[in-house]
Amino acid sequence: MKRRKFIKTCCYSAIGIPLGATLLQSCEAIYYATTTKDANRLVVKKSEFWYTKKDKRVNRSFVLVKTESMEFPICLYKIDVDVYSASLLHCTHRGCELNVGGGIYGCPCHGSEFSVTGKVLEGPADRDLKTFKTEIDHENIFILRA
């Protein structure tokens, strides 16, 4: 391989690996979890965070939760083993519904960005998202709404 071709190949590889990883992360399918209500809590089974494809277990990093009475969904994000963050996908700037992808919540209206724990990363929004405490038991995740 000639020097010029080698350098080009290395550059494309260096660009391609992070780009591919970002695209894979941002291409994670949107999935609405089956949710039940329990007093002031929404209940999501931990098993909603995985599915089987070709005999292999595939993990989801997040699921969306929405009931008939909710105008905006809650994103339940798996931060770590048995550690979840629940954020309302309602932009604090002017109220648009946020998109989930690439490990952040992005607003399609004016470009604000929020971390998966609901913190403002990029304006024009200047307030964090509404978040909810979560609790777990052996098989469920509880989102506390009160």
Could you tell me the smallest distance in angstroms from the CB atom of residue 103 to ligand FES?
18
Return the half-sphere exposure (C-beta side, CA atoms, 13 A cut-off) of residue 109.
13
Site for ligand FES in 22-61 (CB under 6 A): none
Query: Concatenated DSSP letters for 54-111?
Result: TTEEEE-SEEEE--TT-SSPEEEEEEETTEEEEEE-B-TTT-PBPEEETTEEE-TTT-
CA distance 70 to 126: 23
CA distance 51 to 49: 7
CB closer to ligand FES out of 17 and 121: 121
Indicate which single residue of 60, 109, 130, 145 sits in contact with ligand FES (rule: CB under 6 A): 109
CB closer to ligand FES out of 60 and 124: 124
Could you tell me the smallest distance in angstroms from the CB atom of residue 129 to ligand FES?
11
CB closer to ligand FES out of 112 and 134: 112
Which positions touch ligand FES (CB under 6 A)? Answer: 91, 93-96, 107, 109-112, 124-125
